[in-house]
Structure 1
Amino acid sequence: MWSKKLLLLALLSFLMNEYLCAQQVFTLQQAIDTAIANYGTIKAKASYTAAANEQVKQARRDYLPNVNLSAQQDYGTINGQNGPMYGFGGLAASSSGVPLDHQNWNAAFGALYLTNINWDFFAFGRAKEKIKTAMAAATQNDKDWQQEIFRHKIKVAAAYLNLVAAQQLTRSFKDNMDRADTVRKLVRVRVLNHLIAGVDSSQANAEYSSARITWTKAKDAEQEQGNQLAQLLGVPAQNFTVDTEFVKRIPNLADVQLSEDNHPVLQWYKSRIALSDEQAKYYKTLYYPAFSVVGVLQTRGSGFGNNYGVDQHNFSQGYWDGVNPTRTNYLIGVGVTWNITQPLRISRQVKAQQQISKGLQYEYDLADQQIKAQMQLSDTKLQNALDNFREVPVQVKAASDAYLQKSVLYKNGLTNLVDLTQAAYALIRAQTDRDIAYVNVWQALLIKAAAAGDFNVFTY
């Protein structure tokens, strides 16, 4: 009874340990999700996109009329004088009154209440083109954000595959070191029993040392790849336990075609051209005049009486007497403003913007050409990687059988240590070729996904 319970507890403990180990594996999808959430450049471009969307809203509101409200209450004198005056920079006071033959210091309160409306209601599509330009800028920022996410997914997947390869190579070199250690111990026992010469022990020690150095270098390369992956994830450097099992099988290889309308990178290049074209259209609207409607409502109050020019004693220094509104004026008007030399200046700006659009088109054509070339190359690389993938099992089996044969012969004194060492070299070379061939298939598929502009191609 107790034995059954102990067996059940042991089984549950084993399953729990397996579950925890499985939970600690850092999958490729987790790596991508972490990178998109944490990487600084992606977060920055997300903020730029949000800012551009706000600028679209601001461009729409620019069409609204300007409505200014003003109120002021002052205290001072109103001495006037006949003569011309211009207020440079708005530095002149606006005190006004009857020009007297002498200076006086009579002072009272005064007030001005003003409402002003100014609206450019028609400017030959200027407001509409400004909104379209802002929308094109928002689209460009969004496309830039999307292509940055796409590029970063490719970078993270490539770094993840490099780390998978590094961990597999580390594991293979660790197995090679363990084999060298086993041979070293076997040689030591046979030397102590005077079955073989002592030089074999020195050679076995050297082979073990060489295997250990190679393993240490592999660990160093693995740590370097892990550090690079951590940088791309935007997290502190740490030891990642990545999924090394999925690379041992052939991925789903669907027929993928390049779609220029859906490729994130090409779409970003197109959005730059569209923004430049919209800016040129907006600049053209500055050729034409703007029709405006204006409206003013003004109310004033003053502590000086209406016959103050005759009787300088007719004023009150009371606050309410000065700020109480007593006179109101209004004005409604329609006008047009046109700087007739503006087209001469703006035409050069339009031509400059058109040249920028042409340059952006050349950049798009170059990117399209490079992506198409990469698409063709990815097919070749994928086919070559698949051929190697199918060949490495044969190589590994032959090398394993040869090593097993040589080790058995050596244990029975039927071959020498040099033959056994050569078999070990062949085996570790076959194992490293296998590890690299496995990862190369997925790296070739990643290149194809990058060229096609569809990360979903790279699925496992």
Structure 2
Amino acid sequence: MFSFCHLSQGLVSPGRWLLAATLLLATTASHAQAPVAGRPLSLKEALELARTQAPHLQAKAYQVQAAEADIAQTKTQRLPSVRLSGQVSYGSTNAVAGTMLPIGTIIPSSGSLSGDNSYNAVFGSMGTALAEWSPVTFGQYPAQRARAEAARGYAQADADNELFTQQLRVAQTYLDLLATQSLRRVREQDVRRVAVLKKTITRLALNGLRPGVDSTQARATEAQSKLALLSAQEQEADRQARLSTLLGQPGTTWQPDTLYNHTLPPALVPPAAPHPTLGLQQRAIDLGQARETVIRRQYRPRLSLLGATWGRGSGLGYNGQTDYGLGGAAPTRFNYAVGVGLVFDLLDWPRVQAQAKAENLRTQGLQAEYRQQQLELSNQATLAEQRLQLAAERARQAPLQLAAARQAYRQKLALYNSGLATVVDVTQALYGLQQAEQDQVLTANAAWQAVLLQTAAAGDFSFFFTPVTP
């Protein structure tokens, strides 16, 4: 509270009594906090809302399911394939003997060579059933299976890391919203205090007890105080909107738990837990190595078991007779065949080697990024510890600063009341009090921000709740 014990005990003018009374009212009003409208929200509730409602986390979950579906698809490659086909054609019967190499699209022309060229057409048909199974792939199938599982592991690690990152974003925005709400309350108190002070100074200036320039300075101070309040309100609205976006809740106003503005966290040692970001980096390395293995094993041969049956019909008989009707469309000859096939591309080695080298270099790049991430997390942990120590020291100094600023403000008011100080002196003391009040309300919040930084470096978000768990 403001004290006027430093005033002289002599005769006090009516203007000075008015100044004392109005300043006392301003002090009382500055300690009253206006209620904040908004839905009460604890940090755990915010994190749960983000986990279940954030669309981009749902997108990550779908990517994990897609990776699992890819594994199921890879398993089906062990199954044999059976292809059925059939056609009925109508065309000329001129046949030409000879050999053709398999390139492009080839229309087969089989049969004995005809005596002359004829464009007479007959019906023909062909129906086939071809089965192929590759029980021996010399490691190609296991490599593809390992790649699919590595892709699933990467998708899951990506989802876990995104969830952890989202938790950090939510907690950061949550604490930022608390800080901006505290700043807004400080600005509201300051606006009320400055308004009363301006009114008093203006009355004194009108009564000739103070120069007119004092009232002008008071109006400027009031305008500046209101601008600071508008800026704080704008920041609060921005944090509200950002938090609603992170929680997947459109157009909601939140009231976070003020515990993080009133309670300092104790010093704790973060647990040694696997970091989601490092886990994601390691999964990316594993996936790159699996891809390289698949590429290298593409050069290996593939052993296949083959089986087929087919039937054929033709309007051209074995004796050269021609049936121009639909009778040629019915199959008249049936065949079957079984065999073993081996496919090996002898000259594919340079291409495979080039692809494998490119994939290996990408994997080495991922390993370098992994080491960089380790370095950054280590330095972040050191920085978080230093910030906690500084936050503890700030918590000790902030009340001393506030008490000194209040006393300095009261003294300047008393001197101004006695005509021994100018309005500029009062304004400077007012700025010092504003800064001290701001530092006081942000002390605990800054400490929790440091704990959040520790949590981000540790990779275990449960550590953040350890200090406040009953």
Q: TM-score range by the shorter chain?
A: 0.7 to 0.9
1:400 shift after superposition:
3.7
Taking a change above 3 Å as real, the CA distance of residues 81 and 177 of structure 1, as seen in their structure-2 partners, is closer
Taking a change above 3 Å as real, the CA distance of residues 393 and 98 of structure 1, as seen in their structure-2 partners, is same
Task: Output the amino acid matched with 2:344.
Answer: W
Deviation track 1:55-108 (CA, whole Å, cap 9, x = no partner) reads 2222221222221111112233323244555675224254x4443323445544
Counterpart of 1:6 in structure 2 is none
- Between the two proteins, the alignment pairs up a number of residues equal to 431
User: Using the alignment, how far apart are the partners of 2:351 and 2:220 within structure 1?
Assistant: 81
Deviation track 1:334-385 (CA, whole Å, cap 9, x = no partner) reads 1222223333442343344333332222211111111111112111111211
1:149 shift after superposition:
2.2
1:293 shift after superposition:
0.7
Alignment partner of 1:52 out of 50, 57, 67 = 67
1:133 shift after superposition:
0.7
SS at 2:270 equivalent: coil
1:187-198 correspondence runs (5 A)? 187-192=201-206, 196-198=210-212
1:454 shift after superposition:
1.2
Taking a change above 3 Å as real, the CA distance of residues 221 and 109 of structure 1, as seen in their structure-2 partners, is same
1:258, 1:451 within 8 Å by CA — same for their partners in 2?
A: no
1:81-120 correspondence runs (5 A)? 81-84=96-99, 88-94=103-109, 96-104=110-118, 107-120=121-134
Alignment partner of 1:317 out of 322, 325, 340 = 325
Counterpart of 2:397 in structure 1 is 391
**What's the TM-score, normalizing by structure 2?**
0.81
User: Using the alignment, how far apart are the partners of 2:242 and 2:193 within structure 1?
Assistant: 31
2:38, 2:255 within 8 Å by CA — same for their partners in 1?
A: no
2:161, 2:277 within 8 Å by CA — same for their partners in 1?
A: yes
1:286, 1:343 within 8 Å by CA — same for their partners in 2?
A: no
User: Using the alignment, how far apart are the partners of 1:413 and 1:458 within structure 2?
Assistant: 53
2:143, 2:294 within 8 Å by CA — same for their partners in 1?
A: yes
Counterpart of 1:15 in structure 2 is none
User: Using the alignment, how far apart are the partners of 1:199 and 1:351 within structure 2?
Assistant: 79
Alignment partner of 1:80 out of 73, 95, 101 = 95
Counterpart of 1:300 in structure 2 is 312
1:249 shift after superposition:
0.8
Taking only the aligned residue pairs, the percentage that are identical comes to 32
2:260, 2:444 within 8 Å by CA — same for their partners in 1?
A: no
Counterpart of 1:156 in structure 2 is 170
Alignment partner of 2:295 out of 276, 283, 287 = 283
Taking a change above 3 Å as real, the CA distance of residues 91 and 200 of structure 1, as seen in their structure-2 partners, is same
2:260, 2:445 within 8 Å by CA — same for their partners in 1?
A: no
User: Using the alignment, how far apart are the partners of 2:100 and 2:416 within structure 1?
Assistant: 116
1:122-271 correspondence runs (5 A)? 122-192=136-206, 196-229=210-243, 232-233=246-247, 240-251=254-265, 253-259=267-273, 262-271=274-283
1:123, 1:285 within 8 Å by CA — same for their partners in 2?
A: no
1:287 shift after superposition:
3.4
**What's the TM-score, normalizing by structure 1?**
0.82
User: Using the alignment, how far apart are the partners of 2:433 and 2:271 within structure 1?
Assistant: 40
Taking a change above 3 Å as real, the CA distance of residues 88 and 121 of structure 1, as seen in their structure-2 partners, is same
Task: Output the amino acid matched with 2:107.
Answer: A
Task: Output the amino acid matched with 1:381.
Answer: R
1:245 shift after superposition:
4.2
2:260, 2:448 within 8 Å by CA — same for their partners in 1?
A: no
Do residues 67 (structure 1) and 73 (structure 2) align? Answer: no
1:271 shift after superposition:
0.6
1:28, 1:157 within 8 Å by CA — same for their partners in 2?
A: yes
Do residues 435 (structure 1) and 441 (structure 2) align? Answer: yes
1:429 shift after superposition:
1.6
Do residues 341 (structure 1) and 347 (structure 2) align? Answer: yes
User: Using the alignment, how far apart are the partners of 2:268 and 2:439 within structure 1?
Assistant: 26
Q: What 5-or-longer segments of structure 1 have no aligned partner?
A: 1-19
2:416, 2:422 within 8 Å by CA — same for their partners in 1?
A: no
User: Using the alignment, how far apart are the partners of 2:45 and 2:335 within structure 1?
Assistant: 70
1:163, 1:222 within 8 Å by CA — same for their partners in 2?
A: yes
Counterpart of 1:14 in structure 2 is none
User: Using the alignment, how far apart are the partners of 2:45 and 2:123 within structure 1?
Assistant: 73
Alignment partner of 1:371 out of 373, 377, 388 = 377
Taking a change above 3 Å as real, the CA distance of residues 246 and 332 of structure 1, as seen in their structure-2 partners, is same
1:168, 1:244 within 8 Å by CA — same for their partners in 2?
A: no
SS at 2:325 equivalent: coil
User: Using the alignment, how far apart are the partners of 1:281 and 1:210 within structure 2?
Assistant: 67
Task: Output the amino acid matched with 1:110.
Answer: G
Taking a change above 3 Å as real, the CA distance of residues 202 and 344 of structure 1, as seen in their structure-2 partners, is closer
Taking a change above 3 Å as real, the CA distance of residues 196 and 305 of structure 1, as seen in their structure-2 partners, is closer
Task: Output the amino acid matched with 1:187.
Answer: I
Q: What is the root-mean-square deviation in Å for CA atoms of aligned residues?
A: 3.1
User: Using the alignment, how far apart are the partners of 2:119 and 2:217 within structure 1?
Assistant: 115
SS at 2:133 equivalent: strand
Task: Output the amino acid matched with 2:229.
Answer: W
